[in-house]
Structures are given as structure tokens and as C-alpha cells.
């Protein structure tokens, strides 16, 4: 059985909708990420047997340990979703109570649950009771600056039997640009009996060191800082920064893995999004993006990248 203590002092990959698929998680794991979490999976969609949703739960052995993240606001549906997700053999189940996107919060899901502590507690209890695996929850510090609830939610999570809490150090209103609230994460980390993971604004080894020092969190969670640079996890662990050549080689590997899972047509189109991240700051990036946007095969993409590598 997976134990969150195995992550202590290390950096994990955050769940990221639209970009955090199995191929990306695998190259991050190979680059040093201590664990990963899938893209958000709708518990309600699982209830209705949606095939596209099921595809989000694909996990390679190479990316383990990996959890499946569920979102929803109905305890009974979450419980059913946990049982279905467990059949896909994740290492743990993660509950999303932090997504700030309006189409999620508008339905009462994600960070909207930060305004509903009683309901959030019932969801945690239902998930833990239904799960044969450890359960974690991802939250933000609160709905807005006037309603900081992360310490309360951390205590509640512990009381419900949740094994770990990832705290994004911004409110829902703060989005992804507000200053990170280290003080609130530190308050959560001071709660005994719960493994707290610090998240928010972590793009380098220095950022992660600051998070550890200022909060006392047990582990850190990197999100957008890994896009286009999975080797940031090597850097966080004390290794060298990635060279442009290493990053482009990882881009090719990630694309090959995506082709294996999804087929060339879909994988190549999704690769265009990741190309923007991998090429960020590189000489000739605009021309490479232009050429890459026209290719229809992996072989064509590799030819372009190999030419850029010289």
C-alpha cells in the first residue's frame, strides 16, 4: 500500500487539466518527480459511464506512484466514483477542492467546496469509507482573502481519515498570480497527523527550498513550473538545470509516448500545445513552432526537432 511518507522532502507533480496526461506524467517521473496525479476526472461522468472520462485514468507503470483525481460535490456520487477509479489501479485517490475555473466552481465543485465545509467533510468521509486506497485532497487557502479556511479543512481532513492535504497557497480569487500565502500553508503543516504538501508558484529549486523553509511542509507540489521542463525535478533534487537539447529530447519522448497511447492524429495535435512550453526561451522558437504546427506525423516532427538540435 502506498504511503505518503515516502514523498517526504521531495517534489511531486500536480494534476493539470488539459496537459497532465500519462505521457507528460511519465517523463516527469523519469526526470525525478516523486509521484503524480491524473487530470481531473468527473465523478458524475464516471457514474454515467463516459468513455472519454475513463481514458483520463490510464496509468503506466513508469509513472507510479500515481493517483487519480476526482471532482464532484455529491458524497454518494464521489463514493461511487472512488470505487470505479480504484478499478484502474491507481496508488491513491485524490479529491479536488481547489480548482478555481468558473465552469467547475459554477457547478458547486472544485474550490466552491471551500464555502461549504459541512458538505466538504461529508465528501471526504464518503471517499475514505469507499476507498481501498489512501485518500488525499487538494485545496486552496480559501475562497477569497476574507475567508481563509485551509487550516480548518486540514483538521477536518485528518478527522475524516484523509492521508494527505495539498495546499495551494492562493485563494480562489487569487487565481494563479497572487502572492503565495506561506503563513497559511505553515498553519496547515503545523497540524499533527496529516501530511501537508505545499503548492503554488514553484518553478525552480530555489522556489521549492523557500516553500520548505517558510512552511515546514512535508513535500512540495510543482505544476506549471514543469511544463516544458520536466527536468526541473532533477534540479529540485540537487541536479543540474536542463539544457535546451535535453528539453527537446524529452519533448520527443513525451510525444512518442502520447502516440503509443492515443494514436498519431490526436497526439500530434496535443503536442503542439506542449511545443510552446518546451520551446519557451529558445532561439528560433517561433520558426520551430510554425514548422511543427504543420506536421501530421511523428516522423515529420522528429525531423524538425533533430534539425534544430544540429
Q: Domains of the chain by range and CATH?
A: 4-236 (3.20.20.70), 244-309 (1.10.1200)
pTM value?
0.96
Q: Distance from first CA to last CA of the chain, Å, rounded?
A: 46
Task: List b or e across 246-259, with b for residues whose CB sees 16 or more CB atoms inside 10 angstroms.
Answer: bbbbbbbebbebbb
Active-site option among 28, 35, 66, 99: 99
Cell of 9: 522532502
For strands 66-71 and 164-168, give the pairing.
Answer: unpaired
* Active-site residue flag, 217: no
Confidence check: pLDDT of 310 > 80: no
Q: Residue 291: its pLDDT value, please?
A: 77
Residue 269: which H helix or E strand, with range?
A: helix 264-278
Cα–Cα distance measured from residue 194 to residue 90, given in angstroms and rounded to the nearest whole number? 21
pLDDT digits (tens, 9 = 90+) for 39-93: 999 999 999 988 889 889 999 999 999 999 999 999 999 999 999 999 999 999 9
Angle, CA of 253, 60 and 224, to the nearest 5°? 60
Cα–Cα distance measured from residue 146 to residue 44, given in angstroms and rounded to the nearest whole number? 31
Q: Residue 289: its pLDDT value, please?
A: 82
For residue 242, what is the DSSP state?
P
**Strand, helix or coil at 30?**
helix
Amino acid at each position: 500500500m502506498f504511503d505518503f511518507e515516502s514523498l517526504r522532502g521531495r517534489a511531486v507533480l500536480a494534476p493539470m487539466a488539459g496537459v497532465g496526461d500519462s505521457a507528460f506524467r511519465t517523463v516527469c517521473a523519469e526526470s525525478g518527480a516523486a509521484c503524480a496525479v491524473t487530470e481531473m476526472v468527473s465523478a458524475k461522468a464516471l457514474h454515467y459511464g463516459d468513455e472519454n472520462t475513463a481514458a483520463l485514468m490510464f496509468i503506466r507503470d513508469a509513472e507510479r506512484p500515481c493517483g487519480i483525481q476526482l471532482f464532484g460535490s455529491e458524497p454518494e456520487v464521489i463514493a461511487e466514483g472512488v470505487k470505479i477509479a480504484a478499478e484502474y489501479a491507481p496508488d491513491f485517490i485524490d479529491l479536488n477542492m481547489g480548482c478555481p475555473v468558473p465552469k467547475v466552481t459554477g457547478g458547486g465543485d472544485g474550490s466552491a467546496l471551500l464555502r461549504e465545509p459541512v458538505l466538504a467533510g461529508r465528501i471526504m468521509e464518503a471517499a475514505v469509507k469507499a476507498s481501498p486506497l489512501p485518500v488525499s485532497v487538494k485545496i486552496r487557502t480559501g475562497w477569497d482573502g476574507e475567508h481563509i479556511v485551509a487550516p480548518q479543512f486540514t483538521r477536518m481532513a485528518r478527522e475524516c481519515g484523509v492521508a494527505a492535504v495539498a495546499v495551494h497557497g492562493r485563494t480562489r480569487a487569487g487565481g494563479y498570480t497572487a502572492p503565495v500565502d506561506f503563513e497559511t500553508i505553515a498553519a496547515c503543516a503545523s497540524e499533527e497527523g496529516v501530511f501537508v504538501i505545499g503548492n503554488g508558484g514553484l518553478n525552480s529549486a530555489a522556489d521549492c527550498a523557500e516553500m520548505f523553509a517558510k512552511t515546514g511542509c512535508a513535500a512540495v507540489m510543482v505544476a506549471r513550473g514543469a511544463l516544458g521542463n520536466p527536468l526541473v525535478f532533477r534540479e529540485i533534487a540537487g541536479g543540474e538545470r536542463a539544457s535546451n537539447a535535453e528539453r527537446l529530447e524529452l519533448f520527443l519522448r513525451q510525444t512518442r509516448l502520447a502516440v503509443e497511447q492515443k494514436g498519431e492524429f490526436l497526439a500530434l495535435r496535443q503536442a503542439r500545445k506542449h511545443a510552446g512550453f518546451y520551446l519557451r526561451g529558445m532561439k528560433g522558437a517561433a520558426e520551430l513552432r510554425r514548422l511543427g504546427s504543420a506536421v501530421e506525423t511523428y516522423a515529420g516532427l522528429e525531423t524538425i526537432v533533430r534539425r534544430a538540435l544540429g
